[in-house]
Structure 1
Amino acid sequence: MFDGYTMGEIGAIFAMQGFAGLILFSVFVLMALGLAIIFGQMGVINMAHGEFMILGAYVTYLCSNFFADYIPALFGIYFFVAMFLAFLAAGALGALVEWAMIRHLYRRPLDTLLATWGLSLILQQTYRSIFGAREVGVTLPDWLMGSFALTDIIDVQINGLFVMGLTLLITVGVGLLMFKARFGRQVRAVMQNRMMAGAVGIDTEKVDRKTFALGCGIAGVAGSAFTMIGSTGPTAGQLYIVDTFLVVVFGGAQSLLGTIASAFTISQSQSAMEFFLSGSMAKVLTLLTVVGILMLRPQGLFSLKVRR
């Protein structure tokens, strides 16, 4: 596998693939954070999570075209506006879906799986009807283009650094929200004991709706970040949904720290193996490794200790 490479070249390859793995890690974390909130905290298997991500990507695409055509002087800041609008659009759609469908299916995980899978097909066809079947891409501002040359053979992409910084800010924000803010305490109370949470005055239905909307909104921001590393199409979200569920389950469905650790482990493993092996073989080996570990530790890397 390493035949024909010098030690210096191997080190450079691992450094470049490690950075590529960090970009993939950032997208995984943004996707998995929203899914961990919905699946881990609410027990809802949301198979349409990838479509909420693609909604954010399409919102970013529309913002890119709007600023380029009508406000070219402000094109350099359109990405920040696009991320905010992507969060609002995906969050609003998530709140609507929770009110119209999900709230009738709590404590019925297989029903939520089938219902959200049908929703994903509906959203895919909606995107295909509105934007067409061909993939589209966004034009990045000049300040996000280019790279930094760390050495003669190692370059670091600026947009990759931006995605990683964005992921860090959102991760810290979600952590503070879930563990320091009043809303986070309410979410954890409802997750641990819904009846008792309702008995002490927490509006559990409102908490459910806000929680689902928050998870979908984070997926929308992940869609904005996704436009920097891939093109946007109606079915692009399905390429990441399996990996995202794998990240959440492997890390521990109710642990945000486990989600981050799992995303880092899986993304770095896939990125390194994809260079020396085929992409499909890298996924197969990663999946087999994760399955083997879950057989020994079914609760995942991290698990919450709850007194019952």
Structure 2
Amino acid sequence: MFAEYSASELTAIFAMQGFAGLILFSVLVLMALGLAIIFGQMGVINMAHGEFMILGAYITYLTSNVFAEYLPSLFVGYFFVAMVLAFGVTFLLGMAVEWGLIRFLYKRPLDTLLATWGLSLILQQLYRTIFGAREVGVSLPDWMMGSYALTDIIEVPINGIFVMILTLVIALSVYWLMYRSGWGRQVRAVVQNRPMASAVGINTEKVDRVTFGLGCGIAGIAGSAFTMVGSTGPTSGQLYIVDTFLVVVFGGAQSLLGTIASAFSISQAQSTMEFFLSGSMAKVLTLLFVVGILMLRPQGLFAMKIRH
């Protein structure tokens, strides 16, 4: 497999695929952070998580069109507006879904799986009706175009660098929110002992609603980032939902550090193997490796101790 390449070519291949893996890692981390909050903190299996991501992508697409048509002089900064709108809309929709559907299904994981799977089908058809079945892409501002040459044969796209920086900022923000803020302490108190948290005055229903909304909002931001590296279609979210669940379970459902470490491992493995093997074979080998690790360590790479 490697014999037909020289040492310098292999170095360049591993470097380029490693960077491509970092871009995939960025999207997976943004998706998985939202899912880790929903699944890890609330125990809800949200099969519509990919559709929340695609909603954020469509909002970014619409925002780019509005700026290009009516505010061309401000087009250079449209993405930041789109990202805020994507977060706001998906956050509010997530809170509405929790209020109208999820709150009746707590402690019934299979029911949440079926209900959110049905919601994902509804959202897919809604996107298909509004935006059409064809995939759409956004126009990037000039400062995101092009690539940066690391060496004579290794180049990295500027929009990929931007996505990675965005991921780092969001990950640090989530860490601060979950482990350094008062609201994060309330969330962890509810996770560890819901009756006691309620007894000391924490509004557990509000914590659940905001937590679900936050997870969906982060998925919306992931959708904005996704438009930088791929085209958007009604079913695009389904391409990432399995990998995202894999990342969360492999890393440890209640560990943000585990989520990041798992996303890095899976994205790098898939990106490198896809160059030498087919994409489907790369996914199969990655899945087999993860299943093997989970057989030895069912709680995932990292696990948080929970009081019952």
Q: Same fold (TM over 0.5)?
A: yes
Matched, 1:297 2:297: yes
- 2:38/2:215 contact within 8 Å kept: yes
Alignment-derived partner of residue 196 in structure 1 = 196
Offset of residue 305 of structure 1? 2.2
| Alpha-carbon distance in structure 2 between the residues aligned to 1:183 and 1:36 | 17
Amino acid at match of 1:191: V
Amino acid at match of 1:190: V
- 2:250/2:300 contact within 8 Å kept: yes
Alignment-derived partner of residue 74 in structure 2 = 74
| Alpha-carbon distance in structure 1 between the residues aligned to 2:168 and 2:150 | 22
Name whichever of 1-10 and 71-80 sits farther off. Answer: 1-10
| Alpha-carbon distance in structure 1 between the residues aligned to 2:306 and 2:117 | 31
SS at match of 1:156: strand
Amino acid at match of 2:195: M
Alignment-derived partner of residue 224 in structure 2 = 224
Amino acid at match of 1:227: T
Offset of residue 306 of structure 1? 3.1
How many pairs are equivalent? 308
Matched, 1:181 2:149: no
Offset of residue 307 of structure 1? 4.3
Question: Which aligned pairs between 1:68-217 and structure 2 lie closer than 5 A?
Answer: 68-217=68-217
Matched, 1:245 2:250: no
Offset of residue 192 of structure 1? 1.0
Give TM-score scaled by structure 2 length: 0.99
Question: What residue ranges of structure 1 are gaps of 5+ in the alignment?
Answer: none
SS at match of 1:300: coil
Residue by residue over 1:27-49, the C-alpha shift from the partner in whole angstroms, topping out at 9 and shown as x without a partner, is: 00000000000000000000000
Amino acid at match of 1:177: L
Question: 4+ residue runs of structure 1 moved beyond 2 angstroms?
Answer: 305-308
Matched, 1:27 2:27: yes
Alignment-derived partner of residue 57 in structure 1 = 57
| Alpha-carbon distance in structure 2 between the residues aligned to 1:141 and 1:187 | 39
SS at match of 2:148: strand
Question: What residue ranges of structure 2 are gaps of 5+ in the alignment?
Answer: none
| Alpha-carbon distance in structure 2 between the residues aligned to 1:28 and 1:102 | 24
Residue by residue over 1:68-121, the C-alpha shift from the partner in whole angstroms, topping out at 9 and shown as x without a partner, is: 000000000000000000000110110000000000000100000000000000
SS at match of 2:138: coil
Q: CA RMSD in A?
A: 0.6
| Alpha-carbon distance in structure 1 between the residues aligned to 2:207 and 2:307 | 22
Residue by residue over 1:122-171, the C-alpha shift from the partner in whole angstroms, topping out at 9 and shown as x without a partner, is: 00000000000000000000000001111110001100000000000000
SS at match of 1:148: strand
SS at match of 2:134: coil
Amino acid at match of 1:298: P
| Alpha-carbon distance in structure 1 between the residues aligned to 2:241 and 2:118 | 14
Alignment-derived partner of residue 236 in structure 1 = 236
Amino acid at match of 1:293: I
Amino acid at match of 1:6: S
Matched, 1:258 2:255: no
| Alpha-carbon distance in structure 2 between the residues aligned to 1:130 and 1:94 | 20
Amino acid at match of 2:63: C
| Alpha-carbon distance in structure 2 between the residues aligned to 1:246 and 1:307 | 25
Alignment-derived partner of residue 286 in structure 2 = 286
| Alpha-carbon distance in structure 2 between the residues aligned to 1:298 and 1:4 | 40
- 2:87/2:221 contact within 8 Å kept: yes
| Alpha-carbon distance in structure 1 between the residues aligned to 2:139 and 2:188 | 40
| Alpha-carbon distance in structure 2 between the residues aligned to 1:268 and 1:86 | 28
| Alpha-carbon distance in structure 2 between the residues aligned to 1:199 and 1:220 | 34
| Alpha-carbon distance in structure 2 between the residues aligned to 1:51 and 1:193 | 31
